[in-house]
Structure 1
Amino acid sequence: MKTNLAAVAALAAALTACHNPAEPVADGKPSRAEAAFGRSVRAYLLEHPEVIEEAVAKLQDKKQAEAEAQAAAAQADARKLIPHYRAELERDPRDFVANPDGKVTVVEFFDYNCGYCKLAAPQVLKLIQENPDIRFVFKEFPIFGAASDSAAKVALTPAGKANGLALYQAWMAEKPLDEAGIDRQLAALGLNPSQVRKASDTPEIAKQVAEIRALAAKLKVQGTPAFIVGDTMIPGADIGALKAAITQAKAGELKQPAAG
């Protein structure tokens, strides 16, 4: 109902704003003809509210079609681009990888303060735990501020990668994850926050994060999470689509890299 009311207001305002070019507007105020027209529009809409429902439905259909067209275009671009960057995506030895001996590779670009990443995280962990044949590459892609940047750099330290899944689970459960939450969860794992943070403050780790950002830009990753399986990119927390892509990959229908 809210959508219909909004549509009514927008439509009535738009139609009321129309004026007869032959009758100029004085001081920004509607003319008598405009006011009469607006009253007529309002009366018609009140008498025929089904027109609004039809307009809203048509608008929703249009937006859905546009979204599907954009998704199809993005997927086509991804299929062209991913093969050129496969080694950077799947085989960067600096990344944290769960189930490193798995035959099917999944890559996730994520941010610890992304709401949809947090929504997907339990399913990601379940997928990793229940499927040892899935090699899962975590791409630290901080886009939500300073705490996200700090967490990404901490996660890329030796201590961070040694506790990769535990940190991922703990930090994704923090809503939001702030600097205090980072330290609290490090301490809960028996790590010294000051020491780990010092280890994270290196040119090498800063360079890795910058290179991940550059890779995301090359692949036209628009936000987080973004999953990649073979030549397929799955934007958003669409776990169903992710599982479908994994099933196809296991069946050999998507190109998989040679082990290395």
Structure 2
Amino acid sequence: MLRHLISASALTLALTAPVVAETDLSNLTDAQREAFRAEVRAYLLDNPDIIMEAVAVLEQRQQANEAATDRDLVQSNADAIFNDGYSWVGGNLDGDITLVEFLDYRCGYCRKAAAEVDQLIETDGNIRFIVKEFPILGEDSVTASRFALSVRKVGGDDAYKNAHDALITYQGSFEEPALRRIAEGLGVDADAVIAGMNAPEINKVLQDTRTLAGTLQISGTPTFVMDEQLLRGYVPLAAMQEIAAEIRAD
């Protein structure tokens, strides 16, 4: 009788782990408890697919919990994410979806994503796009962001977009002579750009963005915010289009 009880308990444990986990087994003797463990082990060895099913369920729950946490983070920091007053804004300024990208110009996956982000904005036609300068890959990354922000200060939003497009594919040096050549190619005052790269307002933009990234638990690039979703890492064009469709369908 005890053996049947233990076998049934083992099956229940494998199929409904949360229920059994809460069951009080304290009344079992040491021998009964050991027998129970043996039956559970034997059952799982005979039915290893149960383990994979349990792992899949656990991963789904973790993903759901992480998505809920990310959604709460986005909602709590919406103004800083979507309306900080200093980040460059492009695309359709009246778009029904805002896409925000935390990027580093030297990040390989940011570079991979750039053309697809441009294609999404162009083909969709109804997406507002915000760039957050988040240089995390060393001094050259910081220099690149300072340069882009200084170009915007000197030349305006269009010049910044051109600088952004140039830097996201740039493979050369970030020494001053190279930056001067880039600035000249963009048609902006190179002297003013170089002189302004360490301006207090640029320091503040970089620090505020880094603080926001820390609050959102962002540690890598690219990281996207799309509506209330945090998308950590490279997202292919088709996936971004699907997410946009889901947002509009809600």
How far 1:226 moved relative to its partner?
A: 0.5
Q: How does 1:145-224 map to 2 (within 5 A)?
A: 145-156=138-149, 157-158=152-153, 159=155, 161-175=157-171, 178-179=174-175, 181-224=178-221
Residue 107 (structure 2) aligns with? 114
Checking the alignment, whether the CA contact within 8 Å between 1:171 and 1:177 is kept in structure 2 is no
Gaps of at least 5 residues in structure 1 are: 1-60, 254-260
Cα distance in 1, alignment partners of residues 129 and 85 from structure 2: 13
Checking the alignment, whether the CA contact within 8 Å between 2:106 and 2:137 is kept in structure 1 is yes
Cα distance in 2, alignment partners of residues 92 and 120 from structure 1: 23
Structure 2 letter corresponding to 1:137 = I
Residue 242 (structure 1) aligns with? 240
CA offset digits 1:24-82 (Å, max 9, x no partner): xxxxxxxxxxxxxxxxxxxxxxxxxxxxxxxxxxxxx9999998776554323211111
Q: Does residue 82 in structure 1 map to residue 79 in structure 2?
A: no
Q: Could you tell me the TM-score, scaled by structure 2's length?
A: 0.68
What is the number of equivalent residue pairs in this alignment? 193
How far 1:89 moved relative to its partner?
A: 0.3
Q: Could you tell me the TM-score, scaled by structure 1's length?
A: 0.66
Structure 2 letter corresponding to 1:217 = G
Q: Does residue 91 in structure 1 map to residue 83 in structure 2?
A: yes
Gaps of at least 5 residues in structure 2 are: 1-52
Cα distance in 1, alignment partners of residues 61 and 192 from structure 2: 49
Checking the alignment, whether the CA contact within 8 Å between 2:159 and 2:188 is kept in structure 1 is no
Q: Percent identity?
A: 31
Cα distance in 1, alignment partners of residues 69 and 245 from structure 2: 22
Cα distance in 1, alignment partners of residues 144 and 157 from structure 2: 12
How far 1:92 moved relative to its partner?
A: 1.4
Checking the alignment, whether the CA contact within 8 Å between 1:142 and 1:148 is kept in structure 2 is yes
Checking the alignment, whether the CA contact within 8 Å between 2:143 and 2:174 is kept in structure 1 is no
Structure 1 letter corresponding to 2:147 = V
Cα distance in 1, alignment partners of residues 196 and 62 from structure 2: 41
Any idea what SS the aligned residue of 1:163 has?
helix
Distance 1:66 1:199, change over 3 A: farther
Residue 140 (structure 1) aligns with? 133
